[in-house]
Amino acid sequence: MNIFKKFYAWFSKQKIAGKVVIMVVLLISLCCLISVPIALLSPSSPSAPSPSAIPATDQPQPVQVNSPVPTVTEIEESRCIPASNKQIEAIRLGIKGISEQNDIKTAWSVKSSDYENAWFVAAKIYGPGMEDGTGPGLWTVSGDPENPSSGAFSVDGFAKEFSDRGTGETIGLSFSMYDDGAQEALLCAGND
C-alpha cells in the first residue's frame, strides 16, 4: 500500500502534460497485458491464402493433386486440343492481373459436354520461383475457341490464386472440377 501512496503523491505533483503521458503509457500497458491472454486463449482459424504479387522463395508453393499419368493409348484417345491464342490470351490477362511477372506458355482445352458452349482450359503457370511451372490451373472459356464470347472463369484453386478471373457464378454458372472435360484438360496440361 505504501508504494501506491508514494506514486499518488508523486503523480499529484506532475503538470498536466506529464499526467497525460503517464496515463497514455499506463493505458497502452494495460491493453497489452489484457490482449496477450485473449490472443492465447482465443480459437484460431486458418486464413485463406491471398495471391502474392511477387512470390517469394520461402513462400509455400501450392501442392499439386496427384493425378495418374496417362498411358500412350489414353493420350491418343484424349479430347485435348491445344488452346487457341484467344483462349490463352483470356487466361493470360487474368494471370497478369495478379502479377505481371507470371505467365503461361501453352494451354490445353477440352470441350465440355455438360455445357452448351464451354471449354475447360488448363495451363501451367510460370514466374519467379515457378521456373518449371506450377499447377496446372483450370479455367473455363465460353464460345468458339477462335472467338470466345467471354473472358476466362477460374475453376480450381490454382486459377483462383494466380489469376484475377472470377468464377462462373458471376453469370449464374457453377463450373466444377467434376464437370465433363475438366479432369481431362488438367491431365493434358499436367503432362505438358
Domain residue limits, the chain:
2-41, 72-190
pLDDT digits (tens, 9 = 90+) for 43-94: 654 444 434 333 444 434 433 334 444 454 454 467 899 999 999 999 999 9
Q: Give pTM, 2 decimals.
A: 0.59
End-to-end alpha-carbon separation of the chain, Å? 77
Angle at the Cα of 12 (from 7 to 16), degrees rounded to 5?
Answer: 120
